[in-house]
Amino acid sequence: MIQIKLSEVLGREKMTRKKLAELTNVRPNTICDLYNEKLHKIDIDILDRICTVLDCSISDLLEYKKDDEENVK
């Protein structure tokens, strides 16, 4: 499972979702879905723009967590 940590990073940077959407030129709905961990796919270009604006790495935004074997089946 991939955990999206955008809410943590935005909180640390004291930036709103709206401001991030403006600075990255990414649709506000996409930023909102990322923030709420509701996206199942994300474009690499969007990740690049977010990392550039927030001056962070992908590992600051995404974290791999091993699924429980029960959840995989």
Q: Note the pLDDT of residue 36.
A: 96
What is the residue extent of each domain of the chain? 2-65
pLDDT in tens, 11-66: 999 999 999 999 999 999 999 999 999 988 999 999 999 999 999 999 999 999 98
Query: 6: exposed, middle or buried (C-beta count within 10 Å: 0-12, 13-18, 19+)?
Result: buried
| Average pLDDT, integer, range 1-18 | 96
Residue 3's pLDDT band (cuts 50, 70, 90): very high
- pTM here? 0.85
**What class does CATH assign to 2-65?**
mainly alpha
Query: What does the longest C-alpha to C-alpha distance in the chain come to?
Result: 41
With a cut of 80, say whether residue 68 has pLDDT above it: no
Which structure tokens are listed for 15?
A: 């930036």
